[in-house]
Structure 1
Amino acid sequence: MNQSPPAFRVWALPGLPEVRPGDDLAKLIAAAVAEGGSPGLVDGDVLLVTSKIASKAEGRIVEAADREAAIDAETVRVVARRGPLRIVENRLGLVMAAAGVDASNTPAGTVLLLPEDPDASARRIRDGVRAALGVEVGVVVTDTFGRPWRNGLTDVAIGAAGVRVLDDLRGSVDAHGNALEATVVAAADELAAAGDLVKGKAEGLPVAVVRGLSHLVPGASGGGAEDVAEGAGARALVRVAADDMFRLGTSEAVREAVTLRRTVREFTAEPVDGAAVRRAVAAAVTAPAPHHTTPWRFVLLESEHARTGLLDAMRDAWAADLRADGFTEESVAKRLRRGDVLRNAPYLVVPCLVTDGSHTYPDERRGAAEREMFVVTAGAGVQNFLVALAGEQLGSAWVSSTMFCRDVVRRVLELPEDWDPMGAVAVGRAAAPPRPRPARDADAFVSVR
């Protein structure tokens, strides 16, 4: 006997009145169903509720003569900006335009904020509908998003209850018997988009119903609803920063990368991908340089033998200098421990300055200025390098020690005599999050003429 092909049905729920602060959305939805203007609700149906009416019912209407101030208050991080448009991460972790602050369909002089906790909003609606109608439904609270690399808007899930928000297909096989290893479907987002096709944006139909996908509503078949509803919610759809490969990109994100570049002094033992370091070098050599020169060289110490050989030789040279300066053995040992940040890192890089192409001047003043230009461009290259490492989620520490024993470094690493080591960069995965850094007032570093 042939089975019917998979199918589902979606329709908008008519009969909902204008929602006002303090309204019980579940009761309004139940009343609209009871009026008979729709096919009713059965176990396994999914209610798709526009976040705007959840916000109105929860009193998330605020007076705001300036919408921008409301956006500021809801923003955690600016991701991108173009003219007046801002793409930001809001306090819910959602990356979207204007932090979800809406000035449409709300009285003049006010704006509408997203629900305080959209998952909790969905749970209240689900529980209320179950109490009023005796049916086990899933609820998805939706909002409209733009998407990177795609034109147009679509609804996505920002809150959910009683719904499997992620349909994990890993471990199953496709029609050809191939194992699925990475397929996790954003089921709640797909439901939200389906509902938006019938709700529309201007028809005054803020709720839709999907029927025929009861496998996404575990409670409909008895048991399991609480785990789905109280556990994941739509929050599970928000990718955490550590897994976000596209967190950086625009000019605002570049500034964020600069902020993320922190000196790391404790590293894990996890090996460093040499390809990531080479990508950071590619960023480094885009720095400005005088006379169309390329004065950077980066020596990558990828073997433990190379790192240990260099650090041991530098330690011996430093100890000899300290003893010659009259330091006690205790003081010498204490100062040598400062080099542990390099010794404990799984990867070292020695940036070098090469002044090929520099101009020769007969007087000392201009000759010193010429070298300073090259030193400055070396620093610019290293800064590019450090920021690019942060973009690769690698921590770093730029330590000046090689500058005090350049002859030793050149000898151990067999470098040309005209390569000037400009410190050493420890590279690796940070063993712990960086400590909070006190904010610096940019105006304190500015002098205007």
Structure 2
Amino acid sequence: MRVLSGLRRGETLPREELRELQLVRLKALLARVYERVPFYRRKMDEAGVKPEDIRSLEDIRHLPFTTKEDLRENYPFGLFAVPLKDVVRLHASSGTTGKPTVVGYTRRDLNLWAELVARIVRMAGVGRGDVAQICFSYALFTGGFGLHAGLERVGATVIPAAAGNTERHVRLMQDFGTTVLVGTPSYILHIAEVARQMGVDPRCLRVRKALCGAEPWSEGMRAEIERVWGIEAYDNYGLSEIIGPGVAGECLERRGLHINEDHFLVEVVNPETGEPLPVGEKGELVFTTLTKEALPLIRYRTRDLSRLLPDPCPCGRTTIRMERVMGRTDDMLIIRGVNVFPSQIEEVLTGIPGLAPHYQIIVDRKGYLDELEIQVELAQEGFTGSYEDLESLEETVRHRLQSVLSITPKVKLLEYGSLTRSTGKAKRVIDRRRGGEG
């Protein structure tokens, strides 16, 4: 058992006391949004629910959901619960598929955000004396700013290196003695590639931990990061609409991500019916923000698929944990009537020796039939076997994917470095049936 020192009270409250706190905060939230946000007042009136009707946490199921489409339809500030003069920071999504979703923060929201990120940073064993290099964008995306504030709060030295210019990242690590990398799993792997191209062994740098987020990743991807860097990699979870990073993170036990439940009420629902599921069943994560001022959200549907882990954690925290995100409902591909998630494919590929963790999923339609092609790179050390060995590896990949997906994909083995690397979220899927990337 690794009981950590310095735990905050909100992380160790007895479960009954925590639930009482959540209910008090939920009631205050509902009264406030009903009064200040016309959208929620209208939605609750249409559902025939008043704030005073919510007498228990279970009653939350009577409240309507909030979706990303609701934020877009109320663009830019229609869901804010405070006047714009009280908003000190704005962030937004890219808006590549329509109007962006806009999120705002009051001064108190920013302080809360920094403290919640500080929690997940401490969970991973990062603090004073660490030199943290942030490889996230510092634009409207929340990741860079959120981790930056939380890392400073725990006393770490922060290098706001941002994304891109990967060779500079390597030089900064050498010159500044970086001990913690912060970025997407795919980009952290790419930095290791570039380091080797520069003649630098990533394992010989001072980096000891990576804080990874902003994209789904498998245990196989974690294992590859830890192998090439010689470090420990920790998962963290957040989304801009809820607050940004800081919603949940892994402790040193790495048995799921602790959710900051004193500030977020979590549910898992059936993604098709919206009905709440029992604890432990896989479904869509739904969050209610209990303490945010500028943009409080009620029952926000994340589209992220996971399940809750209620068993006590040896670290001493009492907050419920979530399993790492298994995929998204809007990432799911339906191919010949079969549901396929990119995370399933990644888990298979990263478990096969001889392959690199770089792949592309291509879906096309020939005539009336869907076709699935998996392009995956060979490992960096290169393929030194015969043509027959190459065919055997390709067949192994095809067979293992078929056993997991229940459909037989085409498999194309590529030379290492063939696929485009991304400095942000990796683009894994090209769905030509709809003429774009997923």
TM (norm. structure 1) is 0.24
TM (norm. structure 2) is 0.24
Structure with higher helix content: 1
